[in-house]
Amino acid sequence: MPLYKTITVNNTTKVLIWKIEESFEELSEGIDLTQNCSSRVQNMKSDLHRRGFMSVRHLLKEEGYTDHDLYYDENGKPHLKNDKHISITHSFIFSAIVVSDLEVGIDIEKQRSKILRIAHKFTPIEEYRTLANDDAIMRKLTIVWCAKESLYKSFSHPGVSFIQNIYVDDFRLDESSTTANVSFNSQKEVYDVHFLEFDDFTCAYALLQ
Q: What is the mean pLDDT of the chain?
A: 95
Q: Worst-scoring range by mean pLDDT, 55-64, 133-142, 154-163?
A: 133-142
Q: Which amino acid is at 165?
A: N
Please report the domains of the chain, with CATH numbers, ordered by start residue. Answer: 3-102 (3.90.470.20), 107-208 (3.90.470.20)
Return the H-helix or E-strand segment holding 153. Answer: helix 134-155
Structure letter (DSSP) for residue 128: G
Q: Worst-scoring range by mean pLDDT, 26-30, 123-127, 197-201?
A: 123-127
Helix (H, G, I), strand (E, B) or coil at 135: helix
CA–CA separation, 35 vs 43, rounded Å? Answer: 12
CA–CA separation, 128 vs 141, rounded Å? Answer: 8
Rounded to 5 degrees, what angle do the CA atoms 6, 7, 11 make? 120
Q: Give how far Cα 84 sits from Cα of 13, 28, 78, 119, 202, Å.
A: 10, 25, 11, 33, 25
Mention every residue, 6+ apart, whose C-beta is less than 8 A from residue 71: 78, 79, 81
pLDDT at 43 over 80: yes
Listed residue (116, 81, 117) closest to 99, CA to CA: 81
Mean pLDDT of 160-166: 96
The pTM assigned to this predicted structure is: 0.95
CA–CA separation, 84 vs 78, rounded Å? Answer: 11
